[in-house]
Each structure stands twice: as C-alpha cells, then as structure tokens.
Structure 1
C-alpha cells in the first residue's frame, strides 16, 4: 500500500453529497386548476361536472329502458291482434311474439346502452383532457 503524498487527501466515501439545482429568481406562474383536479378534490365545479355525467347516463338508461318496454308492449299488442293465428303447425303466433322476440330486443337494448354509455364517458374524458 502506498502512502499519501503531499497535497493528497483521503476521500471519505461514507459522506453523502446533496446536489441541487440553482435557485431561480423568476416567479412561478400559477396554473389554473384542471377539471380533473376539481373532480378529484370534490369541489363545487367538480361536482357539477360529475353530476352532468351522471345525468347523461341516467337519461340514456331511461331512454333505453323506455324503448325496450315500448317494444315489448308493442309485441304484446300485436300478439293480441293476431289472436290464435297459427304460424307453425302446433305453435301459435302469440307464443312466438311474446315468448321469443323479447330476448333479441333485450340484447339490442343492452348493446345500445353500452355504446351510448361508452360515448358519454369518452365525452367526459375529453372534457377533462381539454381543460386539464
């Protein structure tokens, strides 16, 4: 092992050095609060934005449910008018209208609701991105 010469110092590796950025004298520009922050902090503005999404989803649900119920009622009404007309041998038309056709109508109503709800949520997300 060699000794330390003149002017050489032994470095103590156990000490930590803190490196910081130079202080700036420029004033920071305050950012306008974003809508996503307003929603997250549950402020009055955020509550209004969130309520608008909930109202849109409720309106969509009521519209789809009403359309489905109207379709089922129309099928029932047609089945009452059709009476006992046979559609297939041994299978009355009334059974087909009331017993089988509501299921595809329910699937179509579910698809319509899913697409509408997704569209509402995308609009909400775009609103938060535009102002965030």
Structure 2
C-alpha cells in the first residue's frame, strides 16, 4: 500500500551550471522542400486606374470642402454683418425684421447657386477622368 519512499518527495534533477535554466532551447527552422526562391507572380500593388480613381475622389472631396467652406464663410459673414450693424435690425418688410428675410429667404438662392456650381465642377472633374482613363 505504501511505497517505501512515500514520505520522501522526489526532486527533479538539477541542470549542470547555474545559467542552464536561462538558455532557451534551440529550434531549427527550415523551408519546405518544394518552396521556390522566386516570388509569386502578383499584380502590382496599385494600377494606373486605381490611382486615377483615387485622384478623382480626392478632387471631388476638395471641391465639396471648398463649396461648404464658401457657404459657411458667407453665412458667418452675413450673420456678423447683421450683428455688427444693428441699424439693419430696425428695418422691417411686411412686419418681419430684415435679418430674418436675409437669413430665412436670401440664403436659399445662394445655396442653390452653390449647388449648381458644384454640380458643374464635379461633372467637369469626371469628364477629365474619363478622358484620361480612355486614353
């Protein structure tokens, strides 16, 4: 039932030298026998068409940001003009103050004109892209 050395604990054998525990075990790494040294035939990372599409997207984004910044500057300019020139607030048309007319009604034609100009410039960018991609 009891083994003769049951009361004694077994100790693992100690490695020779005090740095033997710190040394990592060596592992041999080899390439498979059928591995070739030539890289596989792959497409180039970026084709000319992808380059031109990215350029088109960037130009459309620049155009959109320019139109948005222009409209924002115009809106801020009109608002600051109305705030800095308080006499305008006293002018009324059909019992509605002039700043309400300017901001509520006058901005819409400016937005429509900006949209039409944006649309024309975006179409011009796309025509330019098509002429490059076909040629």
Cα-Cα RMSD: 1.7
In structure 1, runs of 5+ residues without a counterpart are: 1-41
The structure with more radius of gyration? 2
Q: Contact conserved, 2:52 with 2:133, CA < 8 A, in 1?
A: no
2:111 counterpart residue number: 106
Matches of residues 79-118 of structure 1 in structure 2 within 5 Å? 79-83=82-86, 84-88=89-93, 90-118=95-123
Who is 1:57 aligned against? 60
Question: What does residue range 14-29 of structure 1 map to in structure 2 within 5 Å?
Answer: none
Q: Distance in 2 between matches of 1:44 and 1:89?
A: 62
CA separation in 2, counterparts of 1:89 and 1:56?
45
The structure in which a higher percent of residues are helix is: 1
Distance across 2 between alignment mates of 1:81 and 1:55 = 38
Per the normalisation by structure 1, the TM-score is 0.61
In the comparison of the two structures, how many residue pairs are matched? Answer: 89
What is the TM-score of this pair, normalised by structure 2?
Answer: 0.60
CA distance in 1: counterparts of 2:84 and 2:92, whole angstroms: 14
In the alignment, which residue of structure 2 is the partner of 1:9? none
Shift of 1:89: 5.0
1:43 CA drift (Å) = 4.9
